[in-house]
Amino acid sequence: MQIELSPDQTFNAKPSSVEVHVQENIGSNRTRLLSSGALCCLSPLLLIVGLGMVIGAELNAALAETPEEAMNRIGQADDRGRREAERLAAGNQEVKE
């Protein structure tokens, strides 16, 4: 390691001694601790939100109408319409007789 020293041009100061401190740059653990603490405090909230989403998806799937159910309802409506038409036709024939 080389260090060059030159006199200060503003104050005409000349260095008489130099002290060098070398520190390892490992970063601050404080931010890491704060973020883990925030995550720890938020985990119950995230758990509740996640469970709510799962329950909502299950309810949506349970209440969804399948294509077979839709076809069955259409078929039932057709059957009801035919029965009603048969009753009306039978009623009209009784009136004519």
Torsion of CA 29, 34, 39, 42, to 10 degrees: 170
Residue 87 predicted with pLDDT over 80: yes
When comparing pLDDT for 92 and 63, which is higher? 63
Structure tokens, 54? 């799962």
Residue 15 within any structural domain of the chain: no
Can you tell me which residue has the tokens 């030159």? Answer: 6
pTM of the model: 0.37
Tokens read off for 32: 């890491």
Residue 46 to residue 52: CA distance in whole angstroms? 10
Structural domain of residue 48, as residue ranges? 31-64
- Residue, of 56 and 4, whose pLDDT is higher: 56
Residue 49's pLDDT is 92
Residue of higher predicted confidence among 21 and 56: 56
Number of structural domains (the chain) is 2
Residues 85 and 95 in one domain: yes
Task: Flag whether 2 is in a domain.
Answer: no
Which residue, chain included where needed, has tokens 């995550």?
39
- Report pLDDT digits (tens) over 31-84: 666 666 666 777 888 889 999 999 999 999 888 877 777 777 766 777 777 888
Residue 96 clears pLDDT 60, i.e. is over it: no
Which ranges in 14-66 belong to alpha helices (H)? 29-63
